[in-house]
Amino acid sequence: MNITNLYTCIGVPAEREDEYLTFNSMNFHKHMGYDLVGRFKKCGYKFNRWYDMVWMEKIIGQHISDPPSVRKYGQIMAAIDR
């Protein structure tokens, strides 16, 4: 598909885990090779409490000069079905 970077945006507790939100998703992505690249502190309010938002990134390809265009899923599937 010619994709080099993957990103995820995850809601996390601002201070400590509660009955609505834990650090499990962030820890899972870290285990899968994602790195923390940003954190927005207390940017979301729900269930009468504040939550943070983290952005994580995983580099899956080389960053080359003049990279090819991104190939859409439908294009790849059409090529496979031939």
pTM assigned to the model = 0.82
Q: What is the pLDDT of residues 33-79, one digit of tens each?
A: 999 999 999 999 999 999 999 999 999 999 999 999 998 999 889 98
Contact in structure between 60 and 5 (CB atoms under 8 Å): yes
Domains contained in the chain, number: 1
End-to-end CA distance of the chain: 18
In this predicted structure, the answer to whether residue 82 has a pLDDT above a threshold of 90 is no
In this predicted structure, the answer to whether residue 14 has a pLDDT above a threshold of 90 is yes
Name every residue whose Cβ is closer than 8 Å to that of residue 41 and which is 6 or more positions away in sequence: 14, 52
In the beta sheet, which residues pair with residue 44? 51
Residue 47's domain comprises 5-81
pLDDT at 6: 98
pLDDT at 64: 94
CA–CA distance, 44 with 51 (Å, rounded to integer): 5
Q: Which two structure tokens, joined as six digits, stand for 43?
A: 């940017």
